[in-house]
Each structure stands twice: as structure tokens, then as C-alpha cells.
Amino acid sequence: MDLDAGRCELMWSRLATALDDTERAVGWLWDAASVGDRFENVGRVSSGQALEIGLVGPTARACGLVRDVRYDHPAGWHRFGQVPVVVWPGGDVFARARVRSLEIQRSGQYLREQLMSAPEGETHARVPMAGSERLAIALVEGWRGEVCHVALTDANGRYAAYKIVDPSFHNWSGLALAMRGAAISDFPICNKSFNLSYCGFDL
Amino acid sequence: MFVVDTITRRLKRGCETMAYPRGAGPALPDRYVGALEVDVTRCVEPCMQCIPVCPTEAITRPRPGAVELDMGRCTFCAACVETCPERAIRMTAEHRQAVRQRSDLVVGGAAGERLRLAEVLGEELRTLLGRSLKLRQVSAGGCNACEADTNVLGTVGWDVGRFGIQFVASPRHADGLLITGPVTKGMELALRKTWEAVPEPRIVIAVGACAISGGPFVGHREVNQGADTVVPVDLYVPGCPPHPLTILDGMLRLLGRAGVT
């Protein structure tokens, strides 16, 4: 479906309202002393651990890693419209919340820029039949991080296998590390700050 | 001061919960497809044009009669609507779509079936539940779309808590399950165990094409063909994903509270 000028304008103004509301709510969150007290130095994952277990997405970026598929392997539109990569050091609940709040700002800004200059042209393209006995890999930066698609075709060019690796597949181990030596009362806040998919682990 | 700020901000925002179902629901987008209907007077044999364009094989042609469209498989892409030369398959923008029986989702055919919207639970179960319905959500291989449209019901705008509906953190605390996803083989045992952990009598709600029939994964060897191949289902909410209004309408129908305060 195409996005005409009227829809672009409508989305632009709705986005402005939503971002404004979010900004206010997030400001309110950072203002609370209890939030700082609860978020700082809780559920820490070091950048070394993050590298070792291959964390992805906002969780990795909150450990100071510059890791974003759109930045590391820009393809399609991302070669022209670059998304800023938000990184924060620390690896604790605070850092993960900080990365998320900054990503809301930057993504909002990015979306609004894109809506102002939406490209013209066809929205659909015909895809030719897949070749026989091929292996194809695609990476997507999802909202939890890297999503990896792998497809294998058979002799007739039909799918022989298709596997998706969800970001949570990598990040569940991060939650386990964040909880090491911590009290069980820290589990809920760590769990929420990783925000993992419960069915992504065994997709 | 933080406390004063908090109170002032809350007061400024006022009540943000929608008037529905007492008043109007949220405005639906102009591209919203809604329930599909088959005009059996326009669907002429032996035309088969809509059948191959359906990505989930939701359309079949029994003979004699008009095509049968299974809304339990439908992803609402509306390719059939665009393809039909006679405009026999139509979008209605109707958000009410939840049903009690799987077969009630099949529209058209020789008998010109329409959706048979869900009826209330039996008197005994309704009395037992009273004004409370606690649900445990199980994402059995869902893509997060149905989960997101269910989750939004808990936010201030929808506030399902006002109907006594709440999502709880354990099946032991629940009156029933709300299942999304086609039930992957990896999630089958987990779903079965969760269902067994809900005290009887329990209800099950299947949300979305995947949970109803397998949806886009229909026939795949790594998934079951929907939730009712594993546990009995009491309410089917079609969509890919369903609009939150469709899910809420379904739950309120089950409780006998649709359209009433």
C-alpha cells in the first residue's frame, strides 16, 4: 500500500503528538529518585560478556557495543537514510532504559524526516523464482535486535528449509548473566528491561 | 516536587479511557478491511479466479454453490476482493467477528452462510465467573502482532480491567487461556501443561488466523494447525491480527456484556 501526501502529513502530526507525550512521560520517569535508585547498578552485563555471548539489539547497545544491522550491513533504503545508532555504556537496567528512551527520540526524528521526503515510485516489485539448491541469508534489525532469516532451496527452486533466529535466542543468556549473584527481587525489573520474547527462544 | 507534579499531570490528562461499549468505539482506519462477506447471487460457477490468489487457501468452491471463505484462515489481504470480476467477495469494515464454533467462521457456500457471532457462555459458568475473568496469555509461536493487539487492551485507552478482565502471571490464577500463534511443535507441550494448570472449568480463546487454523503456516510440519488441535477452544477471534476492538467485542460477547455497560 502506498503512502500518499495526505497520509504522510497525518502520520507526521500524529507522530509529533505521540512523541511529545512519550517525551513527557520519559522525563517524568527520569525525574523520580526511586527510578534512579532502582535502575542503577542492577542487572549488569559487561561489554566483554555481551561480546562473548553475542547480545543483539538495544540490550547490546546498552553494553556500549555499536551493533545495529542497519548500520553494520546497510541495504535497500538504509544506504540512503541512515539511522543513528544509540549506544550507552554500563550494561545495567539504567543503561537499557536510557538506550530505549534515546532510541524513541532518534527513531521519531528519523521517521519524521523520512515522511517529509517519501520516495516516489512503485510499491510492489515482481520477485523471480528462486534458484535451485541455493542458500540465502537475510538480516533485519527488529525492535528487539537482529533477526536472521536463512532459506535453503531444493532442486526445483522451492524451499527445502527456512529458519528464523529471533533476537531473544541470543539475549536470554544475557538475562541469565545479569541475574548472577543478584537477589530474586531483582528478577522482575531485569526481565522487563531485557523484554524478551517467550516463544522466540524455541522458534 | 515530584508528588505534586505527578498529581498535576494526572489531573491535566483527565480520563483517557474510551466510552466504548457505552459510547462509540475508536475510529477505524479507512483502509480497515473488516469481516468479509460472499454475495452468493453474484458468485457464478465455474469461476475460480479467487482461489489461487488466496495465500492461505482459505477459499474453496463446493459444487454446487458459491465459494466458501474460511475467515479462520483468512489474513484479510483482500486479494480475493480485488480479483473477483463480479465483486462477489466484499469488505464490510465490520469489526464484530468473534464466533463460538470453528465452522461459524466459514461464509458463503451453497447455503450463503454469514458469520454467526459468538453467544454468551452457559449460565453456570457465567455465574461462577461473576464479574471477573482472569486470563493467562500463551504465545504459542505467534509473531507478536496478535500479542500486541491483545496487550493494548490493558492500557488506559481500552482498560479491560473495567469489565473485570485481567491478564495474570500464572495459569493457576486464571479462569482460562488466550492463545496466539499456530502452536509450534516446540510450544505444544508448554501449552498443554499450561491448560492443565488452569483450574476447571476453564475457557480458551484463540486469537488470530494462526491460533485458529495455522494461518500462513497451515500444513507446515513444524506447527500444529491451530490451538483447537491441542486444547478445546470456546471463542475464535479471526484476523491477522484482529483489531483490539474485535478481540474486546469477542470477550464481551462471551460474558454477555457486548453493547451494554
For the cut 90, the answer to whether the pLDDT of residue A76 exceeds it is no
Decide if B128 contacts B201 (C-beta within 8 A). Answer: yes
CATH architecture of the domain formed by B36-108: 2-Layer Sandwich (3.30)
Closest chain B CA to residue A199: B141
Residues A161-181: pLDDT tens digits? 988 898 999 999 999 999 999
Architecture of domain B123-254: 3-Layer(aba) Sandwich (3.40)
Report the residue from B2, B9, B181 with minimal CB separation from A199: B181
**Residue A197 with chain B: CB contacts under 8 Å:** 139, 144
Chain A residues bordering chain B (beta-carbon distance below 8 Å):
1, 24, 28, 31-33, 197-199, 202-203
**How far from each other are the two terminal CA atoms of chain A, in whole angstroms?**
29
Residue of A nearest to B181 (CA): A199
For residues B144 and B140, what is the distance between their CA atoms, to the nearest angstrom? Answer: 10
Q: How far is A15 from chain B (nearest CA, A)?
A: 16
- Strand runs labelled E in A130-194: 135-142, 145-153, 159-165
Which are the contacts of A91, defined by CB distance < 8 A and separation ≥ 6? A44, A45, A46, A47, A49, A50, A62, A63, A64, A178
C-alpha cell, A193: 528491561
| Pair A18, A133: CB distance under 8 Å | no
Nearest by CB to residue B2, choosing from A31, A202, A203, is A31
Q: What is the mean pLDDT of residues A20-25?
A: 91
Taking each helix axis as running N to C, give the angle between helix A93-116 and helix A5-31, from 0 to 180 degrees, rounded to the nearest 10: 160
How large is the ipTM? 0.79
**Across the interface, do B6 and A28 touch by the CB < 8 Å criterion?**
yes
**String of b and e for A167-179 (b: at least 16 CB within 10 Å)?**
bbbbbbbbbebbb
Question: What percent of chain A has pLDDT above 90?
Answer: 70
**Chain A: residue nearest B184 by CA?**
A203
**DSSP track, B120-185:** PPPHHHHHHHTT-EEEEEEESS--SHHHHHHHGGGSTTT-GGGGTEEE-S-GGG-SEEEEES--BH
- Cis amide linkage into residue B21, ω under 30° from 0: yes
With vertex at residue A137, the alpha carbon angle to CA A134 and CA A140, rounded to the nearest 5 degrees, is 155
Residue span(s) of chain B under CATH 3.40.50.12280 come to: 123-254
User: Which one of B2, B31, B141 has the shortest CB-CB distance to A1?
Assistant: B31
Chain A residues closer than 8 Å to B139 by CB? 197-199
CB contact under 8 A, A199 and B2: no
Residue contact B139–A199, C-beta within 8 A: yes
Cβ distance of B187 and A202 shorter than 8 Å: yes
Contacts of A199 in chain B (CB under 8 A): 139-142, 181, 184, 186-187
Segments of chain B assigned to CATH 3.30.70.3270: 36-108
**pLDDT per position in chain B (261 positions), as tens?**
778 888 888 898 889 999 999 888 899 998 999 999 999 999 988 899 999 999 999 999 887 888 999 999 999 999 999 999 999 999 999 999 999 999 999 999 888 888 899 999 999 999 999 999 999 999 999 988 999 999 999 999 999 999 999 999 999 999 999 999 999 998 999 999 999 999 999 999 999 999 999 999 998 888 999 999 999 999 999 999 999 999 999 999 999 987 654
pLDDT reported for residue B259:
64
Provide the chain B residues 103-142 that lie in CB contact (below 8 A) with chain A: 139-142
Taking the model in full, what pTM does it have?
A: 0.89
Cβ(B256)–Cβ(B138) below 8 Å: no
Tell me how crowded residue A37 is: count the other CB atoms within 10 A of its CB: 10
CA distances from B58 to A12, A121, B78, B209, B214 (A): 37, 32, 12, 10, 11
Mind listing the domains of chain A with CATH numbers?
Answer: 5-126+170-194 (1.10.645.10)
Report the pLDDT value the prediction gives residue B261, as an integer from 0 to 100: 42
Q: Which of B6, B144, B186 sits opposite A202 (nearest CB)?
A: B186
Angle at B35 between CA B26 and CA B251, to 5 degrees: 60
Q: Alpha-carbon torsion B94, B17, B209, A1, what sign? A: positive
**For the residues A192-203, what does the mean pLDDT come to?**
75
Distance CA A112, CA A118 (A): 10
- Smallest CA-to-CA distance from B242 within B132, B175, B152 is with B152
Q: CA of A40 to nearest chain B CA: how many angstroms apart?
A: 19
pLDDT score at A201: 54
Chain B nearest-CA distance from A48, in A, is: 31
